[in-house]
């Protein structure tokens, strides 16, 4: 498994990680409320989902934006709330008990060491998390993190898009006036499984001109 360089707890580079901030928000809420409330199906309840949206590190996932699409906010309506729930289970940061998710004392201690906490989150999210959970397709393109990171480490210096990376990795390009399923399958995979996780963790910075479609994201 790829190992990270140690990051000091006070290093400002950690502030670029929106996922770290979302996890810290969840821990803060759990501490203040004696845990995180659960539904009967053991999803995070609406009260917490709404709170996570109110405190979202992502503008596009803030309450005002999400409520344009939803009458109420469930866990699955707030993308980072769902990912945080998945990760705290996968990383064994606590457990479901008596209608709440309780953060363990060990996890609370780790959260006080911001650099180590980030490393655990990043390792779990990149290498253990099932990113297909957030995908619209079951398609899986060939490749692994050694290949993806080595290429992105070079290409991202000057900025890249999903389209650029798909061409570099697989030799596929968008053709004008043609709906190319193979091309869009690869673009979707690269975004969901590679670029979005790296951006959420802060390894990449995503910029756009206000649009969310592929040609405008860098």
Confidence (pLDDT) at 120: 96
Residues 120, 21, single domain; the answer is yes
- Residue 43 located in a structural domain: yes
Structural domain boundaries, residue 78: 12-129
Confidence (pLDDT) at 174: 84
Residues 109, 153, single domain; the answer is no
Residues 188, 101, single domain; the answer is no
Residues 73, 171, single domain; the answer is no
Residues 72, 177, single domain; the answer is no
User: HSE of 70 in the Cβ direction (CA atoms, 13 Å)?
Assistant: 19
> Is the full-model pTM beyond 0.85?
yes
Confidence (pLDDT) at 178: 72
Confidence (pLDDT) at 159: 87
Residues 149, 113, single domain; the answer is no
Residues of the chain with pLDDT under 70: 1, 208-216
- Residue 4 located in a structural domain: no
């Amino acid at each position: 498994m790829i190992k990270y360089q140690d990051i000091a707890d006070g290093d400002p580079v950690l502030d670029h990680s929106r996922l770290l901030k979302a996890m810290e928000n969840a821990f803060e809420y759990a501490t203040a409320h004696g845990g995180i409330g659960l539904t009967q199906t053991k999803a995070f309840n609406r009260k917490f989902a709404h709170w996570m949206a109110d405190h979202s590190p992502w503008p596009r996932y803030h309450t005002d934006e999400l409520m344009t699409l939803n009458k109420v906010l469930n866990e699955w309506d707030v993308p980072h709330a769902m990912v945080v729930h998945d990760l705290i289970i996968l990383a064994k940061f606590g457990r479901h008990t008596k209608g709440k998710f309780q953060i363990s004392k060990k996890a609370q201690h780790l959260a006080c060491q911001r650099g180590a906490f980030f490393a655990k989150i990043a390792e779990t999210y990149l290498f253990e998390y099932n990113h297909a959970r957030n995908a619209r397709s079951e398609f899986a393109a060939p490749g692994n993190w050694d290949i993806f990171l080595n290429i992105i480490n070079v290409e991202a210096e000057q900025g890249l898009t999903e389209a650029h990376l798909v061409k570099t990795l697989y030799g596929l390009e968008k053709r004008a006036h043609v709906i190319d399923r193979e091309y869009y399958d690869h673009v979707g995979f690269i975004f969901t499984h590679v670029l979005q996780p790296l951006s959420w963790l802060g390894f990449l910075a995503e910029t756009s001109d206000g649009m969310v479609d592929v040609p405008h994201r860098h």
